[in-house]
C-alpha cells in the first residue's frame, strides 16, 4: 500500500497522471495517532490546524475552500489509529476552523462535513477499514498481490547479479507452498532476502529449501515490523517483551483449536476465547486477514493469511507448551499404544503421529512436519532463541528417539503417507537427503 501511495504521488508530481488535481495532501492515520497522544489531555485542533502542522509551507489555506479547487487527501495506515471511532455519537462539525479532538475530526472528515471539497483515499488492512460505515465509502479496492510473471520480474530486477536471480527463482519454486505464498509481495521480498544470503554458502541450492526455518523468519520479521510500525521502536531498539510472546502463543493456541475443529475460519468470539483483542490479532499481528465475502452473512469472519501459516502457528503452540512448560497438549487423544514417555520429544511426536494417521483428510500432515522442524536445534535453538525462548534455554533432548520413531513409521506407513513422513524427518534433521 505504501508503494501504491508513493507511485501515485510521484506520477501526479511529474504530471504523468491525475493532472486535474491541484493539491495532494497526505494525512497518515499513524501521524494523526501521534498527534492525538502528543499531549495529555489530547489537544483540540481544527482541520486546518492539522494541515498547517504537517504542511507549514501552505500559507493560503482558503484555497482549499474555493469551489473550483480540486484536491486529494491520502489517509493511509488506518489500522495505526489505535482508538475506537464513534460513528454514531460524534458531534457534527460544519467548518474547517472549529477545534475538536482528533478522533472527532477524523469522523467528520470521513463523513464529508469537514474539508468538503476533498476527495479521500483511505488505505489500511481490510479488517481495519471494514469498521468504516459503508455509506461513507464510494469505491473499495483490494491489492491482490503478484502474478507468477510479476514474481519473476521482481526477483530479476531485485539483483544486479543475473545468475543469483535465476538461482533464487528456480530454488524457491521447488517448494510449491513457497511459490504460492510468494504472491504476497512481502513474502517475495523475504524469499529474495533469505535466499540471497543462503546462496553465499558454497554448495547451497542443491536440495529444496526447508519450510520451517522460512516460516520462523517470516514470523520474526512480521513481529519486528509490528514493533516498528505500531510501537515506533527503532531498528537498534527492537526487543520482544512478554506481550509479543503471549500474543504469538495465544494465536498459536487459537490456530491449534481451529485445526482440531478442521476449519480455517475464526470469529471475534474465538479471539476472545484465548483472551486476545480482535485488532491485535487481525490487524497488528500481520498474520491474519478479514475474509470477504463472509462465510455467514452479516457476521465478520477472519482467517490466517494462508492455511499453512495457521498450521505452522498451531505447531508452534504445541512445541512451546512442550519446550517451555513441559506440557504435551496432544496426549489426551492419542490412540497409539504408548511406547514413549508423553513428556519426551518422542512421546510428543508419537501423539502427533496418532492424529496424522487417524485423519483421512491429511489435515495434520503439515502440522506434523512443522512440529518436527521446530524440534530441530537449527530452528528452536538457533532461530527462536532470544525471541520466543530465553538465551539460556537448552536444546531439546531425545531427538535420536524421535528419529527412530519416524523411521519406523516410514517403514510401516502406506505408500500414500510415506513421502510426507520422510519430509517430517528431513525437517527435523534439517537435512536434504
Contact yes or no for 9/26 (Cβ under 8 A): yes
Average pLDDT on 97-110 reads 93
Together in a domain, 86 and 203:
no
Separation between Cα atoms, residue 208 and residue 431, nearest integer Å: 10
- What value, to the nearest 5°, has the Cα angle with vertex 20 and ends 18 and 22? 100
Q: Which of 121, 93, 95 is nearest to 27 (CA)?
A: 121
- Decide if pLDDT at 136 tops 70: yes
Average pLDDT on 88-117 reads 91
Together in a domain, 128 and 157:
no
Q: Is residue 113 part of a domain?
A: yes
Average pLDDT on 366-382 reads 95
Query: Is this structure's pTM higher than 0.85?
Result: no
Chain segment 174-190, per-residue pLDDT in tens: 988 899 889 888 889 99
Together in a domain, 335 and 377:
yes
Return the higher-pLDDT residue of 375 and 339.
375
φ, ψ for residue 315, nearest 5 deg: -65, -40
Residue 26: its H or E element: strand 23-26
Q: Which three cell numbers stand for residue 214?
A: 522460512
* Neighbouring residues of 306: CB distance < 8 A, sequence distance ≥ 6: 180, 181
Q: Which long-range contacts (CB under 8 A, 24 or more apart) does 352-355 make?
A: 352/318, 353/405, 353/409, 354/330, 355/330
Task: Name the pLDDT band for 124 (thresholds 50, 70, 90).
Answer: confident
Question: Cα dihedral sign for 269, 275, 281, 283?
Answer: positive
Together in a domain, 111 and 28:
yes
The confidence score (pLDDT) of residue 249 equals 97
- Domain span at residue 272? 236-429
Together in a domain, 247 and 181:
no
The confidence score (pLDDT) of residue 166 equals 95
The confidence score (pLDDT) of residue 335 equals 47
Q: Is residue 268 part of a domain?
A: yes
- Decide if pLDDT at 294 tops 80: no
Chain segment 213-270, per-residue pLDDT in tens: 999 999 999 999 899 888 888 888 888 989 999 999 999 999 999 999 988 889 999 9
Average pLDDT on 407-426 reads 89
Together in a domain, 205 and 319:
no
Together in a domain, 338 and 243:
yes
Q: Is residue 223 part of a domain?
A: no
The confidence score (pLDDT) of residue 408 equals 92
Name the percent of the chain lying above pLDDT 70.
Answer: 95
Q: Which of 271, 371, 355 is nearest to 316 (CA)?
A: 371
Q: Is residue 219 part of a domain?
A: no
Q: List alpha helices for 144-184, DSSP H.
A: 148-158, 162-172, 176-181
Average pLDDT on 95-117 reads 91
Task: Name the pLDDT band for 121 (thresholds 50, 70, 90).
Answer: very high
Average pLDDT on 388-394 reads 91
Together in a domain, 304 and 242:
yes
Together in a domain, 185 and 122:
no
- Decide if pLDDT at 333 tops 70: no
Structurally, the chain folds into a number of domains equal to: 3
- DSSP strand E in 91-132: where? 118-122
Separation between Cα atoms, residue 36 and residue 46, nearest integer Å: 13
Contact yes or no for 288/279 (Cβ under 8 A): no
The confidence score (pLDDT) of residue 60 equals 65
Under DSSP, the state recorded for 71 is E
Chain segment 337-366, per-residue pLDDT in tens: 556 777 899 999 999 999 988 876 788 999
CA dist 272 → 68, 245, 280, 285 (Å): 50, 17, 11, 15
* Final residue of a structural domain among 85, 111, 136: 136
The confidence score (pLDDT) of residue 205 equals 87
Together in a domain, 273 and 309:
yes
Q: Is residue 230 part of a domain?
A: no
Separation between Cα atoms, residue 155 and residue 216, nearest integer Å: 22
Q: Is residue 157 part of a domain?
A: yes
Chain segment 1-19, per-residue pLDDT in tens: 777 888 899 999 999 999 9
The confidence score (pLDDT) of residue 236 equals 81
Q: Is residue 221 part of a domain?
A: no
* Final residue of a structural domain among 190, 209, 228: 209
φ, ψ for residue 42, nearest 5 deg: -55, 140
Together in a domain, 290 and 335:
yes
The confidence score (pLDDT) of residue 337 equals 52
* Final residue of a structural domain among 87, 109, 136: 136
Separation between Cα atoms, residue 215 and residue 222, nearest integer Å: 10
Task: Name the pLDDT band for 59 (thresholds 50, 70, 90).
Answer: low
Together in a domain, 79 and 31:
yes
- Decide if pLDDT at 334 tops 50: no
Query: What is the average pLDDT value for the chain, to the nearest integer?
Result: 88
Q: Is residue 177 part of a domain?
A: yes
Amino acid at each position: 500500500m505504501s508503494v501504491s501511495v508513493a507511485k501515485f504521488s510521484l506520477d501526479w508530481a511529474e504530471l504523468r497522471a491525475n493532472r486535474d488535481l491541484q493539491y495532494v495532501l497526505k494525512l497518515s492515520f499513524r501521524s494523526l495517532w501521534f498527534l492525538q497522544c502528543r499531549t495529555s489531555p489530547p489537544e483540540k485542533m481544527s482541520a486546518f490546524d492539522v494541515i498547517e502542522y504537517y504542511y507549514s509551507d501552505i500559507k493560503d489555506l482558503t484555497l482549499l475552500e474555493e469551489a473550483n479547487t480540486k484536491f486529494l487527501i491520502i489517509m493511509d495506515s488506518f489500522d495505526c489509529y489505535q482508538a475506537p471511532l464513534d460513528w454514531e455519537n460524534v458531534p457534527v462539525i460544519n467548518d474547517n476552523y472549529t477545534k475538536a479532538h482528533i478522533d472527532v475530526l477524523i469522523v467528520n472528515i470521513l463523513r464529508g462535513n469537514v474539508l468538503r471539497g476533498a476527495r479521500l483515499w483511505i488505505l489500511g488492512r481490510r479488517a481495519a477499514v471494514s469498521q468504516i460505515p459503508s455509506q461513507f465509502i464510494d469505491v473499495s479496492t483490494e491489492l491482490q498481490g503478484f502474478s507468477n510473471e510479476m514474481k519473476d520480474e521482481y526477483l530479476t530486477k531485485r539483483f544486479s547479479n543475473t545468475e543469483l536471480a535465476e538461482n533464487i527463482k528456480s530454488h524457491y519454486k521447488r517448494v510449491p507452498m513457497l511459490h504460492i505464498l510468494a504472491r504476497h509481495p512481502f513474502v517475495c521480498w523475504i524469499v529474495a532476502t533469505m535466499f540471497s544470503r543462503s546462496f553465499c554458502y558454497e554448495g547451497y541450492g542443491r536440495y529444496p529449501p526447508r519450510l520451517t526455518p522460512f516460516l520462523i523468519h517470516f514470523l520474526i520479521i512480521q513481529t519486528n515490523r509490528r514493533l516498528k510500525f505500531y510501537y515506533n521502536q527503532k531498528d537498534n531498539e527492537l526487543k520482544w517483551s512478554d506481550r509479543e510472546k503471549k500474543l504469538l502463543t495465544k494465536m498459536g493456541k487459537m490456530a491449534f483449536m481451529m485445526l482440531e475443529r478442521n476449519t480455517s475460519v475464526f470469529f471475534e468470539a474465538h479471539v476472545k476465547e484465548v483472551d486476545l483483542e480482535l485488532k491485535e490479532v487481525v490487524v497488528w499481528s500481520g498474520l491474519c486477514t478479514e475474509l470477504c465475502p463472509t462465510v455467514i452473512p452479516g457476521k465478520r469472519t477472519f482467517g490466517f493469511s494462508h492455511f499453512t501459516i495457521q498450521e505452522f502457528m498451531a505447531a508452534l503452540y504445541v512445541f512451546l507448551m512442550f519446550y517451555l512448560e513441559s506440557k504435551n497438549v496432544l496426549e489426551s487423544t492419542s490412540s497409539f499404544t504408548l511406547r514413549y514417555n508423553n513428556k519426551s520429544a518422542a512421546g510428543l511426536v508419537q501423539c502427533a503421529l496418532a492424529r496424522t494417521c487417524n485423519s483421512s483428510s491429511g489435515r495434520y500432515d503439515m502440522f506434523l512436519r512443522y512440529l518436527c522442524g521446530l524440534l530441530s536445534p537449527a530452528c528452536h535453538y538457533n532461530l527462536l532463541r532470544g525471541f520466543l525462548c530465553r538465551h539460556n534455554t537448552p536444546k531439546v533432548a531425545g531427538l535420536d528417539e524421535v528419529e527412530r520413531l519416524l523411521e519406523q513409521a516410514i517403514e510401516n506407513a502406506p505408500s500414500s503417507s510415506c513421502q510426507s513422513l520422510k519430509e517430517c524427518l528431513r525437517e527435523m534433521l534439517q537435512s536434504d537427503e
